[in-house]
Structure 1
Amino acid sequence: MHIVLPVDGSTYTARAAQVLVQQVRQYKEPPRITLLTVALPIGTPLARAQLSKATLDEYYCDVSAQALAPAEGVLKQAGLAFESRFVVGDPAEQIAAEVTRLQPDLLIMGTHGHSALKGFVMGSVASKVVASTTVPVLLVR
């Protein structure tokens, strides 16, 4: 069993991490867990071209570490092994692309993230991911 948990550091993704811990207790074998965060590209392409690759990489690593930290803490406290990774781009598109690439058995994600005001019933990122993947998705409110 492979579970992917997209995170953005919000309270919704912290709740999703807690639900993941509860779900795992029901499995005979511990699942493979991948935490995934998507860093938004900074500035415009022209602005990014003025920065060194090392500067951009350091920025994206720092932003991603902050977004991953709450979920990593929940999983570490529960004694679960996991892999953390980040990609850069549009969150919905990148999550869908990583799900296609990783082929997990389950995707667990919060219904809203830091952009909760953009979606009414369900966040726009969650809505787009659900619409663009065939992997079962467990949404956590």
Structure 2
Amino acid sequence: MLIVLPVDGSSYTLKAAQVLVHHARLYSEPPSVVLFTVALPIGTPLARAQISKATLDDYYREVSAQALAPAEAVLKDAGLAYEARDGVGDPAEQIAAEARRLQPDLLIMGTHGHSALKGFVMGSVASKVVASTTVPVLLVR
């Protein structure tokens, strides 16, 4: 079983990682897990053109590492192996694209994250992902 856990470092994605660990115990074999985080692009294309590629890459790598760290700690503590991946762009679009690429059996994600103020009942990223993917999605509050 392949499970993708989109993370942004928020308390909601930490809870989603804890739910993943809990559910992993229900399977006869540990699932394959991919942690996926998306960094928002810096500024405008014109502004990015003024920054070296190496500087941008370093920035995105640092942002990704910070977002991945809480979920990585939960999975490591549980002894659950994972692969970490990252992207840059619109989080909902990138998560849906990664789901199309990987074709996981399940996406587990928090209902709100760093953009929690944008969504009222359910976070805007979560609702967009649910609307744009055919993969089963488990939403965690």
- Relative to the length of structure 2, the TM-score reads 0.99
Code of the aligned partner of 2:107: L
Q: Does 1:125 align with 2:122?
A: no
Q: Structure 1 regions of 5+ residues with no counterpart? A: none
- SS across alignment from 1:34: strand
Q: Hey, what does 1:23 align to over in structure 2?
A: 23
Q: Hey, what does 2:98 align to over in structure 1?
A: 98
Task: Extract structure 1 runs of 4+ deviating beyond 6 A.
Answer: none
Cα shift at 1:44: 0.6
Identity %: 82
- SS across alignment from 1:72: helix
Cα shift at 1:58: 0.4
Cα shift at 1:117: 1.0
Give distance in 1, aligned partners of 2:57 and 2:85: 13
Give distance in 1, aligned partners of 2:117 and 2:125: 12
Give distance in 1, aligned partners of 2:52 and 2:83: 27
Q: Hey, what does 1:5 align to over in structure 2?
A: 5
Code of the aligned partner of 2:6: P
Code of the aligned partner of 2:108: I
Cα shift at 1:115: 1.1
The size of the alignment, in residue pairs, is: 141
- SS across alignment from 2:28: coil
Q: Structure 2 regions of 5+ residues with no counterpart? A: none
Give distance in 2, aligned partners of 1:102 and 1:124: 22
